[in-house]
Amino acid sequence: MSRYPTLRSCGYELDRTIGTGGFGKVKLATHTLTGEKVAIKIMDKTKLGKDLPRVKLEISALKNLSHPNICKLYQVIETESHCYVVMEYCSGGELFDHIVEKSRLSEMESRMFFRQIISAVSYLHDNGYAHRDLKPENVLLDREQNLKIIDFGLCAKPQGGMDSLLLTSCGSPTYAAPELIQGVKYHGSEVDIWSMGVILYALLCGCLPFESDNIDELFKKILKGKYIEPGWLSSGSKRLLRRMLCVDPLKRIRISELINDPWISLGFGCPPSTTNHNVDRCKDIECLEVISQYCEIDKEIIWSRISKWKYDSETATYLLLLNKKKYGAPLVLKKKE
Ligand SMILES: O=C(Nc1ccc2c(c1)CNCC2)c1ccc(F)cc1
């Protein structure tokens, strides 16, 4: 009998563990009705303690966000003891492992991934959020090598909007901006730009710009902002890295300049897309028809329930059917036993 009977009764068949973190573990699972694979973050609420607000924050952020490069939330299941967060499965795993496998990426492949990060982060900032924990481990790949940002447990949506200052020092020091580790007030958008610079460096160089086993040494390196520029870097990529890994947040490149930087558009002829993406909130008659036939309920009634976006089993079934449609899988639901 599986250790999580709730999940089986909620329509998921659990598979192997694909990730573990401070909050709990992530297991691969199959959504029985659609046969789609999902990733389920399993958290023991009694053990979460001070981290419980982080989980709530991540869930509320994900409910408001819908973008092709942000990992999708399908369903939230809460019991007395556990919280289960059903997410989009990113079968390509961590971008970090992809870089390590190839030791470093070509300028073109780095640019292809980095444009997707820019698109996701500019969408985040336009919606008043700062991620604050951007790092290669939080950037996954789906089956078509599309990039997906995860882990919004440290994201901030400052009341006063993106121009108001934050103080909480958070995220991993290796990727954290100088002002964040100094504990001075900072803008969420500016620390995200710095972390994106660390990710771009990792893509192009296959290692990290600031590293040390000793935390004080690491802090000194970050505050100095000096890093090695390997010989293979083009002048365009060196210039961009210097603009992103700029110790003074006031002189650091802004997301609007980054989008229009010539290095970012090389070979693409246009800047990354920054249009608002709420495609998942659209009314898809075909998917509604499939659910309506399965439940034998009128599709307008189905839509009136789904369009409340409660992230319950109906939301999950609808979004997973949308997924199947997107990559041309047959729109069928498994017959009731
Ligand atoms: O899909 C996820 N992780 C994942 C998927 C595939 C693989 C891994 C992690 C790691 N090993 C290689 C294969 C995932 C998705 C959402 C999430 F919040 C956390 C993790």
pLDDT of residue 177: 94
What would the pLDDT profile of 4-15 be if each residue is shown by its tens digit?
888 988 999 999
The residue annotated as part of the active site, out of 15, 133, 248, 298, is 133
Quote the ligand 1 centre to 70 CA distance (angstroms): 13
Confidence of residue 2 (pLDDT cuts 50, 70, 90): low
pLDDT of residue 282: 87
Ligand 1 pocket, residue 83 CB under 6 Å: no
pLDDT of residue 169: 72
The pair of structure tokens assigned to 216 is 């004080």
pLDDT at position 161 over 80: no
H-assigned helices in 176-312: 178-181, 188-205, 215-224, 235-244, 255-259, 262-265, 285-295, 299-306
pLDDT at position 111 over 80: yes
Section 45-57 average pLDDT: 84
Q: Are 26 and 18 in contact (CB under 8 A)?
A: yes
For the chain, give me the number of helices (H) and strands (E)? Answer: 14, 8
- How does 95-126 read in b/e, with b if 16+ C-beta sit within 10 Å? bbebbeeeebbebebbbbbbbbbbbbbbbbbe
Quote the ligand 1 centre to 304 CA distance (angstroms): 32
Mark whether 126 is an active-site residue.
no
Section 104-115 average pLDDT: 97
pLDDT of residue 159: 74
Dihedral angle sign, alpha carbons of residues 141, 142, 144, 147? negative
pLDDT at position 1 over 60: no
Atom 7, ligand 1: residue with shortest CA distance: 93
Q: What is the pTM of this model?
A: 0.93
Rounded distance, CA 16 to CA 314, Å? 25
181, 132, 125, 135: which is closest to 153 by C-alpha? 132
**Cα distances (angstroms) measured from residue 281 to each of 70, 303, 319:** 15, 11, 9
**Weakest mean pLDDT among 105-109, 163-167, 262-266:** 163-167
The pair of structure tokens assigned to 244 is 């992103």
pLDDT at position 162 over 90: no
Quote the ligand 1 centre to 146 CA distance (angstroms): 13
H-assigned helices in the chain: 5-9, 45-48, 52-64, 95-101, 107-126, 178-181, 188-205, 215-224, 235-244, 255-259, 262-265, 285-295, 299-306, 313-326
What would the pLDDT profile of 185-221 be if each residue is shown by its tens digit?
889 999 999 999 999 999 999 999 999 999 999 999 9
Instruction: From the CA of 71, give the closest atom in ligand 1.
Output: 16
Percent of the chain with pLDDT over 90: 77
Q: What mean pLDDT, rounded, does the chain reach?
A: 92
Atom 13, ligand 1: residue with shortest CA distance: 93
pLDDT of residue 311: 97
Quote the ligand 1 centre to 72 CA distance (angstroms): 12
Mutational pocket test of ligand 1: of 26, 27, 98, 133, the residue with most ligand atoms within 8 Å of the beta carbon: 26
Ligand 1 pocket, residue 42 CB under 6 Å: no
Rounded distance, CA 184 to CA 229, Å? 28
Q: Are 32 and 13 in contact (CB under 8 A)?
A: yes
pLDDT at position 163 over 80: no
Rounded distance, CA 155 to CA 70, Å? 13
pLDDT of residue 166: 74
- How does 47-65 read in b/e, with b if 16+ C-beta sit within 10 Å? ebeebeebbebbbebbeeb
Quote the ligand 1 centre to 204 CA distance (angstroms): 23
Ligand 1 pocket, residue 90 CB under 6 Å: yes
Ligand 1 pocket, residue 19 CB under 6 Å: yes
26, 28, 140, 20: which is closest to 92 by C-alpha? 140
What would the pLDDT profile of 298-336 be if each residue is shown by its tens digit?
999 999 999 999 999 999 999 999 999 998 999 999 976
Rounded distance, CA 10 to CA 42, Å? 14
Ligand 1 pocket, residue 86 CB under 6 Å: no
Rounded distance, CA 10 to CA 120, Å? 31
